[in-house]
């Protein structure tokens, strides 16, 4: 028994091919019917509809006549041009020199040593754990030397030490920053180092 010859037999595939052809015809008929009902395809021959809709182009219209030639006027007035003469080269002029800009004298805020400013107390837990390090704190100093705001700029590595230094130094009074001798609100940085003794 030759299996390949049996598979190539036309009689075996004929019903399948016929079914596919019939299905295609049914689908095409259905699409055309829906197109006619929807008004997309006009009833009757498609060729006839196209020939009916074709219109002749309108007859050629003659081009518009050229514009009439108007001669230019005999006299054209010259344009108004004003030329300023250059300043003479050898002249004496009074030159006023501006005063040099005044230098602004600025000073930074510093802790006022004359007023009470207690040093931060070492937290007991930090002392037991032998925590140490350097913290840099930023303080916003008001015109009268009081601390308005504070923040940790660089940590010592231990939050307990940072907070103890910030709270203690926030109670200190400062000499405010000045600009030309007048007090000014400004931020000032203070470095505090925690050491075990």
Same domain for 40 and 111, yes or no, is: no
In this prediction, residue 136 carries a pLDDT of 92
Same domain? For 186 and 112 the reply is yes
45 and 113, same domain (yes or no): no
Residue 114, domain CATH: 3.30.2420.10
Quickly state the pLDDT bin for 188 (edges 50, 70, 90).
confident
Is residue 95 in a domain? Answer: no
Q: Is 99 helix (H, G, I), strand (E, B) or coil?
A: coil
- Give the residue numbers spanning the domain of 126: 106-194
- Same domain for 120 and 47: no
User: Mean pLDDT across the stretch 169-193?
Assistant: 87
| Pair 111, 45 in one domain | no
State how far the Cα of 155 lies from the Cα of 193, in Å rounded to an integer.
Answer: 11
Which among 196, 173, 34, 184 is positioned nearest to 112, based on CA atoms?
173
Same domain? For 113 and 185 the reply is yes
**C-alpha atoms less than 13 angstroms from C-alpha of 178 in its C-beta half-sphere:** 8
Q: Does 90 reside within a domain?
A: no
The pLDDT of residue 115 is: 67
| Band (95; pLDDT cuts 50, 70, 90) | low
32, part of any domain: yes
Tally the domains of the chain: 2
Is 30 a member of any domain? yes
- Whether residue 77 lies inside any domain: the answer is no
| pLDDT tens per residue across span 104-162 | 777 777 777 666 677 888 999 998 999 989 999 998 889 888 888 999 999 999 999 99
Residue 2 lies in a domain: no
**Do 110 and 187 fall into the same domain?**
yes
Instruction: Check residue 66 and give its pLDDT.
Output: 81
Q: How far apart are CA 139 and CA 145, in angstroms?
A: 11
Q: Confidence class of residue 48 from pLDDT cuts 50, 70 and 90?
A: very low
């Amino acid at each position: 028994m030759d299996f390949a010859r049996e598979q190539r037999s036309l009689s075996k595939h004929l019903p399948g091919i016929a079914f596919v052809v019939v299905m295609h015809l049914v689908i095409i008929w259905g699409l055309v019917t829906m197109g006619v009902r929807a008004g997309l395809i006009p009833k009757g021959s498609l060729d006839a509809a196209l020939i009916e809709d074709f219109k002749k182009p309108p007859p050629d219209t003659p081009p518009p006549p050229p514009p009439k030639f108007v001669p230019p006027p005999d006299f054209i007035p010259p344009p108004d041009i004003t030329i300023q003469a250059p300043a003479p080269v050898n002249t004496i002029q009074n030159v006023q020199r501006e005063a040099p800009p005044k230098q602004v004298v600025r000073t930074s805020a510093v802790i006022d040593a004359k007023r009470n400013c207690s040093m931060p107390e070492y937290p007991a837990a930090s002392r037991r754990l032998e925590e140490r390090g350097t913290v840099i704190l930023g303080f916003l100093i008001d015109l009268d030397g009081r601390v308005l705001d504070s923040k940790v700029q660089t940590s010592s590595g231990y939050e307990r030490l940072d907070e103890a230094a910030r709270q203690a130094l926030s109670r200190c009074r400062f000499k405010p920053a000045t600009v030309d001798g007048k007090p000014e609100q400004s931020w000032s940085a203070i470095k505090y180092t925690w050491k075990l003794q």
